[in-house]
Every structure is written in structure tokens, then in C-alpha cells.
């Protein structure tokens, strides 16, 4: 069974950035093959990783619902072929992008095919890494797989930490089984204040450590360079690796 790691947390705290750095860490430490799942409907993990996205699973679901199927092909066959084609294969990892959630109308047939496809797909990998949008609800959409490690990311703000606490509370009410829940603080400058330390103790997640604020990350982002390729001596990368050791 694949070991599944999923990221969650408030908007803009660095989930996608850390997801990218974790994938690099896993590759460098021999933890592969990896299937990367971008489950954020506003997907951008591919930019962090430096790969292009042509089709999302959501696009294919829409096509099937509209009945855009070539003559002489069954819907099922068509959708399966399309789904297979949507896997972005690189020499380092494979990536699937979930895309937009379903709109109005009946998607039952398409959803069944999608779920079957994902179930078959995850069987091919030792590790699954999932980047999520802010919040928690969508994790319950990923019905194909339980999560072994839920990595909740926060900054040192009260709102970020509150969101982390709420996510942890929500996680226990979902039908997805969560193996372990971790807290990682990102964008940290200097030492943590006593107030933050005290708050962390109340969240109920195992605190793994801090990833430091690094101007290089912002610079790469602004210049459209993949964060995945940040130099080895980046303070964010180094501190992130110390944290990732405890996850995988």
C-alpha cells in the first residue's frame, strides 16, 4: 500500500511550497516512485515543480458529462483513455491534477470512472503526496485513499494556528482515516514567542518544527522559477529537510 502524505492549512501559509520541497527531499532520500496529486482547484503545484499541465481530471469529467465522445468509442473507454493520458509523467515523479470540482447535474457515471481510475493508479506507487486547497472539506472528496500523514502547515499568526486547530478537529469527523497529524510552522523568522509555543501545545497535532522564511523562495516565485530547484544552501530548504526527516 502506498504511503500517503497530504498537506492542509490556511490559505497562503506555504502548503504548495512545502509540498514541492518534500517531493525533492523524498527523491534525494530514495523515497519513490511518487504520485503527486494536485487537489487544489486553483492548481499551481506544477509551477513549483516546473512542469506544464494540459488537462485536469475535472476537464475530462466535464467532457464525459457533455457527451463529447468520438463516434465508435464507448464513453467508458473514452474516459479511461483520456484519464490515462492526463497523467503527467516526468523522470522524477508522476503528477495528476484534479482541477475544478463538479458543477451542476449528474456526474455519477463520470465519478465512478474517476474513482476507479484513481484507485488503480495509486496502486502503482510507493508514495502519494497530495497538495490541497485551504481548508479541509475537499480531503473528504479524495475517497480513494486514507491519509497516513496529514501535514498541517501554519505561519506564526493566530489565524493560521486557529485554522490548524480547526482542521485537526474537522479531520476526526471525516470518513477519511488519518494515520498521524503533524503541525509544521512555515515562514518563521527568529525564535518562536512563548505565546506561539503555548498555542501550539493546544492544537493537538504533533509539532515537527519550523521552516524558516527565505527571500530566495519569494524571488524564485516572482521570477517564475520552480521553487523545486532552489539552491541547496537555502535556509528554507535546510530547515524543511530537518522537518521532513520526521515524516518520511
Q: How many CB atoms lie within 10 A of CB 102?
A: 15
Total site size for ligand ATP, rule CB under 6 A: 20
Q: In what order do the strands lie in the sheet with 178-188?
A: 88-89, 94-97, 34-38, 127-131, 3-9, 147-154, 178-188, 206-212
Cβ proximity to ligand ATP, 40 vs 148, nearer residue? 40
* 16 binds Mg ion per the rule CB under 5 A: yes
Select 41 or 162, whichever has its Cβ closest to Mg ion. 41
Using CB atoms within 10 A of its CB, is residue 124 exposed (0-12), middle (13-18) or buried (19+)? Answer: exposed
Q: Using CB distances below 5 to 8 A depending on partner kind, what does residue 187 bind out of Mg ion, ligand ATP, none?
A: ligand ATP
CA separation for the pair 244, 208 (Å, rounded)? 8
| Minimum CB distance to ligand ATP smaller for 121 or for 153 | 153
Residues 19-78 that bind ligand ATP (CB under 6 A): 40
Radius of gyration of the chain (CA): 18
- Pick between residue 75 and residue 138 the one whose CB is nearest to ligand ATP: 138
Residue 137 makes CB contacts below 8 A (sequence gap 6+) with 170
Instruction: Determine the residue with CB nearest Mg ion.
Output: 16
17 binds, among ligand ATP, Mg ion, none (CB under 5 to 8 A by kind): ligand ATP
Using CB under 6 A as the criterion, which residues of the chain lie in contact with ligand ATP when the complex forms?
A: 9, 11-17, 40, 133-134, 186-187, 211, 213-214, 217-218, 221, 236
Amino acid at each position: 500500500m502506498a504511503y500517503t502524505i497530504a498537506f492542509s492549512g490556511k490559505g497562503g501559509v506555504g502548503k504548495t511550497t512545502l509540498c514541492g520541497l518534500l517531493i525533492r527531499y523524498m527523491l534525494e532520500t530514495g523515497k519513490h516512485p511518487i504520485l503527486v496529486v494536485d487537489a487544489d482547484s486553483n492548481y499551481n503545484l506544477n509551477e513549483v515543480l516546473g512542469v506544464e499541465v494540459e488537462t485536469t481530471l475535472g476537464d475530462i469529467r466535464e467532457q464525459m458529462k457533455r457527451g463529447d465522445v468520438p463516434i465508435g468509442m464507448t464513453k467508458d473507454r473514452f474516459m479511461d483513455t483520456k484519464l490515462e493520458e492526463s497523467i503527467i509523467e516526468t523522470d522524477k515523479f508522476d503528477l495528476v491534477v484534479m482541477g475544478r470540482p463538479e458543477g451542476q447535474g449528474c456526474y455519477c457515471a463520470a465519478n465512478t470512472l474517476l474513482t476507479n481510475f484513481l484507485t488503480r493508479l495509486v496502486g502503482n506507487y510507493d508514495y502519494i503526496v497530495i497538495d490541497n486547497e485551504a481548508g479541509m472539506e475537499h480531503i473528504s472528496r479524495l475517497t480513494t485513499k486514507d491519509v497516513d500523514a496529514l501535514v498541517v502547515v501554519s505561519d506564526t499568526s493566530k489565524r493560521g494556528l486557529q485554522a490548524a486547530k480547526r482542521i485537526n478537529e474537522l479531520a476526526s469527523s471525516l470518513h477519511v482515516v488519518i494515520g498521524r497529524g503533524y503541525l509544521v510552522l512555515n515562514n518563521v523568522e527568529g525564535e518562536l514567542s512563548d505565546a506561539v509555543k503555548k498555542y501550539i501545545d493546544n492544537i493537538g497535532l504533533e509539532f515537527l518544527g519550523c521552516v524558516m522564511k527565505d527571500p530566495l523562495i519569494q524571488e524564485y516565485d516572482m521570477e517564475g522559477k520552480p521553487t523545486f530547484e532552489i539552491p541547496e544552501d537555502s535556509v528554507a530548504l535546510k530547515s524543511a529537510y530537518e522537518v521532513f526527516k520526521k515524516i518520511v
